[in-house]
Structure 1
Amino acid sequence: MQNRNFSLTRRRLLQQVVALALGFNLNLPRTGWADTSQKILRRIPSNNETVPAIGMGTWLTFGIDPDDASQMRVREKILHTFFELGGELIDSSPMYGSAEEVVGKCLARLDETPDLFAATKVWTSGWRAGVRQMERSRVLWGVERVDLMQVHNLLDWETHLATLKEWKAAGRIRYLGVTTSHGRRHSELARIMETEPLDFVQLTYNLLDREAEQHLLPLAQERGIAVLANRPFQGGGLFSRFASQPLPDWASAIDCENWAQFFLKFIISHPAITCAIPATSKVAHMRENMGAGYGRLPDAKLRRRMSEYVRGL
């Protein structure tokens, strides 16, 4: 995989510098989520590669004017924080306006080559348009090849999936997949999962939107398909509903210091979930999100307690 030859010694030094600037000490024993020995990794079933359980989405948050220097500086800081605190998988799409261009420009401005897992999508109709769009995405990202290419919201999926199979066989992409969002088209997604050789699916899953538990997540486990969870905060709706309420004292048992970590740890503790992809436009929120990728996770009993707690608020 490209961008995996990072110097561990150099990276560790950079992590220390950033951690100190953010108020963490990576050398401390288990007193906070920044203990990198407790980073939560998830296996990609189709080849056993692992990725961190917390990734990053770019819908809305990176769809900014790439010529706005002030906005770009904030996105650069967000990416810097994401990588220094252990992130790898970034998900985008041509549907997200300028997001791919902004990600690519921010990546080019990083001082070091990050451990990037580039995931994007094809979102158009027709073979020729799909090929042009996917190649443009690669150029915008500034990578030699995209790690994961997905058919966005199943648009013309038969056409594009045929192309992706050819590209994967030729080494032009590493993984292929399909996506849905907002909890839609689950029946069609299930049919594709049952009949096609997918590496990944992407679907909506969060503490309140749990329809995927009924069939899609067990099917992903059965078929050996990795799962990206989109809309982990329900488009911000979970914060609107619960952020003013107290975080339960027992949340400390799974190393949760805030609601973002509470929501995300519920998601990634499901055995079928490979990676949750929250999006943010604030550096402080990125730090909170990345905290969910460390420390203890809830077991089945505690997951039920988390669900019951929010239903009672």
Structure 2
Amino acid sequence: MIDPDVNMTRRSFLGTVGALTSAMLLAPHLLSAEESCILLRPIPSSGERLPVVGMGTSRTFDVQGDAETMGQLAQVLEAFFDSGGRLIDSSPMYGSAESVVGELLGSERGKSRLFTATKVWTDGRTDGIAQMERSIQRLGVDVIDLMQIHNLRDWKTHLPVLREWKQKGRIRYIGITTSHGRDHEALAQILRTETLDFVQFSYNIEDRTAEERLLPLAADQGIAVLINRPFQRGSLFHKTRGHQLPAWSAEIDCHSWAQFFLKFIIAHPIVTCVIPATSKVKHMTDNMAAGVGRLPDADMRRRMVAHVSAL
């Protein structure tokens, strides 16, 4: 079993703690009432702070657009923003998700607080540029906050274009993603040799391989970390079905299994934002609550791992 503690250097640890402390001190006069309740973490390359819980759109926002479904998703977005959410992650790979998000945000509701994160997922410079132009149009924004290279696809071609767009102000941050463990070695090499603002990969209470290299490397390189698949694509809920939360989870202000799994991830000091996906208001509200209240320390995280492993 991999120890859930990160093996970070003293320099990177102190840097992270210092940045987090500065963020907390600045929070009262920069945040709305809703946002002041949710933990924020800084983007290392800029100091801009993001809520630790964002929203993914894979599968959940790839819909046909009928009135009932759109109405339900509009309520999900409203719950997200009302809970202090900002970062919404999407991709051309997710079917109609970008277009659905853009349509639902067309009324400007929440747009001033929106942090758009999407991806380029194709081969070749020309197709990559065309795809990013479509993403801007579909999301209905003038500038993409974060453009990521999806699953390392043709990254050597796309990265120079992303840098050009960032210099021109068309995107604010650049990043790269994977959701496959088999790509960790290649991703680690990219993080060592390229200048990036963000990296996105999978990490959860059962899949902790990112603790070996990716999380410490992101800390050392000053790269913000987005976490996908926090619930192991739903398998964690299957595992805990029929089981009550341990009584000691109240010590970290935890009231559901979703919060249990998300708080485990958020408690890692190198994680900037976790992006669970849902199409239900009650689940969105539950997810966002994971960013509020006490978080587990190292001993509690080990206890959480042991508890889930024993189920």
Instruction: Give the TM-score normalised by the residue count of structure 2.
Output: 0.88
For 1:85, the equivalent position in structure 2 comes to 83
Task: Give 1:111 shift.
Answer: 4.1
Spell out, residue by residue over 1:146-165, the C-alpha distance to the aligned partner (whole angstroms, 9 max, x if none): 00000000000000011001
Task: Give 1:293 shift.
Answer: 1.0
Cα distance in 2, alignment partners of residues 260 and 110 from structure 1: 30
Cα distance in 2, alignment partners of residues 241 and 277 from structure 1: 21
1:256 and 2:246 correspond: no
For 2:137, the equivalent position in structure 1 comes to 139
The one-letter code sitting in structure 1 at the alignment partner of 2:177 is T
Spell out, residue by residue over 1:276-312, the C-alpha distance to the aligned partner (whole angstroms, 9 max, x if none): 0000011110010000011111111111111111111
Query: Where do 1:18-29 residues align within 5 Å?
Result: none
For 1:245, the equivalent position in structure 2 comes to 243
The 3-state SS of whatever aligns with 1:294 is coil
For 1:174, the equivalent position in structure 2 comes to 172
Q: What's the % identity of the aligned pairs? A: 58
For 1:3, the equivalent position in structure 2 comes to none
Cα distance in 2, alignment partners of residues 172 and 267 from structure 1: 31
The one-letter code sitting in structure 2 at the alignment partner of 1:52 is P
For 1:30, the equivalent position in structure 2 comes to none
Cα distance in 1, alignment partners of residues 267 and 162 from structure 2: 30
Cα distance in 2, alignment partners of residues 168 and 110 from structure 1: 24
Q: Which runs of 5+ in 2 are unaligned?
A: 1-28
Q: Do 1:57 and 1:90's aligned partners in 2 also have CA atoms closer than 8 Å?
A: yes
For 1:217, the equivalent position in structure 2 comes to 215
For 1:272, the equivalent position in structure 2 comes to 270
Cα distance in 1, alignment partners of residues 110 and 216 from structure 2: 39
The one-letter code sitting in structure 1 at the alignment partner of 2:97 is A
Q: Do 1:80 and 1:110's aligned partners in 2 also have CA atoms closer than 8 Å?
A: no
For 2:194, the equivalent position in structure 1 comes to 196
The one-letter code sitting in structure 2 at the alignment partner of 1:137 is S
Task: Give 1:109 shift.
Answer: 3.5
1:61 and 2:60 correspond: yes
The count of corresponding residues between Structure 1 and Structure 2 is: 283
Cα distance in 2, alignment partners of residues 274 and 86 from structure 1: 15
The one-letter code sitting in structure 2 at the alignment partner of 1:265 is K
Cα distance in 2, alignment partners of residues 113 and 199 from structure 1: 22
Query: Where do 1:7-156 residues align within 5 Å?
Result: 12=33, 37-66=36-65, 68-109=66-107, 111=109, 113-156=111-154
Cα distance in 1, alignment partners of residues 180 and 159 from structure 2: 22
Task: Give 1:113 shift.
Answer: 3.6
Cα distance in 2, alignment partners of residues 139 and 153 from structure 1: 22
Cα distance in 1, alignment partners of residues 37 and 308 from structure 2: 27
Q: Which runs of 5+ in 1 are unaligned?
A: 1-7, 16-35
Task: Give 1:184 shift.
Answer: 3.1
Spell out, residue by residue over 1:253-298, the C-alpha distance to the aligned partner (whole angstroms, 9 max, x if none): 1111000000000001111111000000111100100000111111
Spell out, residue by residue over 1:40-80, the C-alpha distance to the aligned partner (whole angstroms, 9 max, x if none): 111100011110000000000000012x1110001100001
Question: Whose helix fraction is larger, Structure 1's or Structure 2's?
Answer: 2
